[in-house]
Amino acid sequence: MAPRVLVRIGALFLAPTAYRHLPTIGWATHGDIHAELRWQLDHHFHTKTVVIGDRRLGSPAAARRAIDDALKTLAGQDLLLVCLAGHAAEFNRRDGDITALALPGSVPGRPTSMLQVDELSAGVRPGDGKPVIVCADLISPRDTTGPIASAFAGASVLASQSAADAEPENTCHGALAAVLGDLAAAGTDQLAPQLLNAARQRLVTAGGRPHLTIGASAAAITSKYVTEQLPEYVREDLSSPDPGSRLDAVTELAALAPSTPFARDSLMRLAASDPAEAVRGYADTMSRQDRQPSLRQLLADGLIPREAHEAALKQPATPDLLPHPGGDVILGVDAPNGQDDCRPRHTVRLQPYRLARTVVTNRQYLAFLTAEGGPCPDHWQSDNSLWLDDLPVVMVSWLDASRYCTWLTRHLHHTRALAHNQRIVLPSEAQWEAAAGNGRGRPYPWGDAPDPRRANIRATSIGAVVAPGRFSPDGDNDAGCQDLIGNVWEWTRSLWGRSGHQPTFGYPYSHDDGREMASTRPGARYVIRGGAFYYATECANSFTRNRMLATDRHPAGGFRVTSTNATETTS
């Protein structure tokens, strides 16, 4: 195996976009096919980049001059990456077949108006041991990937016959950008053949048929952030095709951003260009957490309905608390069900408690802010439709939820709706799980089988938070609590620990091991339960445990409350 030498990359991008005589290319309309790959190279790798655009591609002669100038600029780099995208054509001639790239003014059927691949490859064939990688997405009536690979003899070539309307992420360029992003997140180096094979596999998984030729050189590629490895579970969420998983990645990246440049860069990238609007918005919010809107500002701007604010002043909305019997309840599962942190199945004893019928809603949370002041959830300044159906409040941290509980305790004492020896708190995870499994260790409030008709999860295909009660009574627990599974995940008062992966406090559950002692230490994470609208079926149930930092605010994260005696423990 060749030694792993860390390389400086010279990247040459050749991408005509505005054709006069050829069909429009979709990726030029809804996003530059090169954009993500260029960003990864420029931000995470030791790269010098030259882009040859339409203005320098007016004729084959002009294109050749531009390419010669670019190769001189990149001559000092250790590895040359040539990126080609656009229309291509193949012409059969008596003296040999011609494969050519179309230029902005190229005319179909005229090879002299196009740039012949042999002329392009003559200057970039591997020489003096310098490796060359070619990434090509070509639109052509016939598959030209083979001739492209032949023209760049000795180079590693990843090429595909792409469709004009292909999404950029489903191209060789997009696949290579994705695996480079994974490599940077991992903080390691990887041999070029392995990297290209990973990109090829991504395209195959997406239904593509890419061509891959591996050249003789096996240089290793590494990112600038080799010492700043992200945890594996964050990398998995960051590269996931599911927007919900990328929402979770945003949360973790925001926690790492103050000390990790790669995390900070990735957070800004998600805010700028993630395909999902929800992910872009959340990443933008998390990158400026210190600028939450004030209630006065939102009222002045007319973003909170006047009637909602007047009601919060005169008759504050409060949660409806339903009795749960406690006693001996079953928690957790045994293998092969669930993850290690929610095993084994065991029994604990709980005191009777009351749990809110629904998660706290926007109008209930507005009553708290009207009385106490403090920052409002960030999305209140951009979405006034959330008041129409009184949706669950989201974008509230564990600290925000705890402040709400303190206020609600005082308010209910004042109105005599709560005995003075009782207080409002977040439920322990044992109380929450007992409610969701009806104390019998059932995986769902309604029984043993998942049912997307009874809860708002990914399989339900709503794709957004909905008002409480939409799945009632079919999705309720025995006491009448709604939406314990799905819609929004829920904070508990139980500590997870400081690690984002392995819990300090696992199962079996014990109320006196420190997990029920609130922590104000930086980096404390708390258990969240129930799953949300974007959760897969296997993760949205009564027993799955997850975690978030106490400071995290998430677009699918809410909470419900419980009442307990002031000196009462959970067992």
pLDDT tens per residue across span 346-373: 999 999 999 999 999 999 999 999 999 8
Angstrom distance (rounded) from CA 133 to CA 82: 6
Q: Which amino acid is at 177?
A: A
Range 526-544 burial, b when 16+ CB lie within 10 A, else e: bbbbbbbbbbebebbbbbb
Nearest Cα to 239, choosing from 187, 177, 288, 318?
A: 177
112-169 pLDDT per residue, tens: 999 999 988 887 766 566 889 999 999 998 888 889 999 998 899 999 998 777 887 7
Q: Note down the domain range covering 143.
A: 9-222
Please identify, among 189, 222, 255, the residue that sits at the C-terminal boundary of a domain.
Answer: 222
Same domain, 134 and 240: no
Angstrom distance (rounded) from CA 301 to CA 381: 9
Angle at 354 between CA 350 and CA 359, to 5 degrees: 115
Same domain, 181 and 265: no
- Quote the pLDDT of residue 271: 87
Name the band, by pLDDT with cuts 50, 70 and 90, for residue 521. low
Distances in Å between the Cα of 395 and the Cα atoms of 16, 121, 281, 360 are 43, 53, 12, 12
Q: CB count, 10 Å around CB of 506?
A: 18
Please check the confidence at residue 1 and state whether its pLDDT lies above 60: no
The CATH number covering residue 49 comes to: 3.40.50.1460
Q: Which amino acid is at 8?
A: R
447-486 pLDDT per residue, tens: 999 999 999 999 999 999 999 999 999 999 999 999 999 9
Please check the confidence at residue 571 and state whether its pLDDT lies above 50: no
Task: Please indicate, yes or no, if residue 480 is contained in any of the structural domains.
Answer: yes
Same domain, 246 and 369: no
Task: Please indicate, yes or no, if residue 471 is contained in any of the structural domains.
Answer: yes
Task: Please indicate, yes or no, if residue 284 is contained in any of the structural domains.
Answer: yes
Looking at the DSSP bridge assignments, the partners of residue 563 are 354, 424
**pLDDT over 70 percentage in the chain:** 94
Please check the confidence at residue 3 and state whether its pLDDT lies above 70: no
Please check the confidence at residue 226 and state whether its pLDDT lies above 90: no
Task: Please indicate, yes or no, if residue 3 is contained in any of the structural domains.
Answer: no
Same domain, 184 and 268: no
Same domain, 57 and 143: yes
Angle at 288 between CA 287 and CA 292, to 5 degrees: 140
Average pLDDT over residues 205-234: 82
Same domain, 371 and 432: yes
Average pLDDT over residues 515-526: 77
Distances in Å between the Cα of 452 and the Cα atoms of 243, 537, 544 are 19, 8, 17
Angstrom distance (rounded) from CA 32 to CA 38: 10
Please check the confidence at residue 48 and state whether its pLDDT lies above 90: yes
Of 269 and 432, the one with more pLDDT: 432
Task: Please indicate, yes or no, if residue 4 is contained in any of the structural domains.
Answer: no
- Quote the pLDDT of residue 135: 95
Extract the runs of DSSP E, i.e. beta strands, from 338-488: 346-350, 353-356, 422-425
Same domain, 122 and 240: no
293-345 pLDDT per residue, tens: 899 989 999 999 999 999 999 999 999 999 999 999 999 999 999 999 999 99
Angle at 226 between CA 220 and CA 232, to 5 degrees: 100
Please check the confidence at residue 228 and state whether its pLDDT lies above 70: no
Same domain, 212 and 93: yes
Span between the terminal Cα atoms of the chain, in Å: 60
Same domain, 172 and 305: no
Q: Are 377 and 406 in contact (CB under 8 A)?
A: no
- Helices 261-273 and 277-286 pack at an angle, to 10 degrees, of 140
Please identify, among 252, 272, 291, the residue that sits at the C-terminal boundary of a domain.
Answer: 291
Q: Are 365 and 386 in contact (CB under 8 A)?
A: no
The kind and range of the H/E element at 52 are strand 47-52
Residue 183: alpha-carbon gap to chain centroid: 17
Range 438-460 burial, b when 16+ CB lie within 10 A, else e: bbebbbbbbeeebbbebbbbbeb
The sign of the dihedral angle between the CA atoms of 478, 456, 362, 249 is positive
Radius of gyration in angstroms for the set of CA atoms belonging to the chain, rounded to a whole number: 29
Task: Please indicate, yes or no, if residue 570 is contained in any of the structural domains.
Answer: no
Task: Please indicate, yes or no, if residue 463 is contained in any of the structural domains.
Answer: yes
- Quote the pLDDT of residue 281: 86
- Quote the pLDDT of residue 551: 86
Q: Are 207 and 161 in contact (CB under 8 A)?
A: no
Of 562 and 232, the one with more pLDDT: 562
Tokens 């180079």 -> residue: 155
- Quote the pLDDT of residue 129: 66
- Highest mean pLDDT (candidates 99-103, 117-121, 227-231): 99-103
The kind and range of the H/E element at 195 are helix 192-205
Structural domain total, the chain: 3
Average pLDDT over residues 404-433: 96
Of 397 and 130, the one with more pLDDT: 397
- pTM of the predicted protein model: 0.68
Looking at the DSSP bridge assignments, the partners of residue 495 are 526
Q: Are 41 and 9 in contact (CB under 8 A)?
A: yes
Of 212 and 223, the one with more pLDDT: 212
477-513 pLDDT per residue, tens: 999 999 999 999 999 999 999 888 889 999 999 999 9
Task: Please indicate, yes or no, if residue 300 is contained in any of the structural domains.
Answer: yes
- Quote the pLDDT of residue 519: 63
Same domain, 300 and 388: yes
The CATH number covering residue 414 comes to: 3.90.1580.10
Same domain, 158 and 270: no
Q: Are 570 and 431 in contact (CB under 8 A)?
A: yes
526-559 pLDDT per residue, tens: 999 999 999 999 999 999 999 998 888 999 999 9
253-307 pLDDT per residue, tens: 988 887 787 888 888 888 878 888 889 889 988 887 666 889 998 999 999 999 9
Extract the runs of DSSP E, i.e. beta strands, from 289-357: 321-324, 327-331, 346-350, 353-356
Same domain, 424 and 506: yes
Which SS3 state, helix, strand or coil, does residue 369 take? helix
49-98 pLDDT per residue, tens: 999 988 899 999 999 999 999 999 999 899 999 999 999 999 987 777 89
- Phi, psi at 358, each rounded to 5°: -130, 170
Is residue 433 exposed (0-12), middle (13-18) or buried (19+ Cβ within 10 Å)? buried
165-201 pLDDT per residue, tens: 788 778 999 999 989 988 888 878 888 999 999 999 9
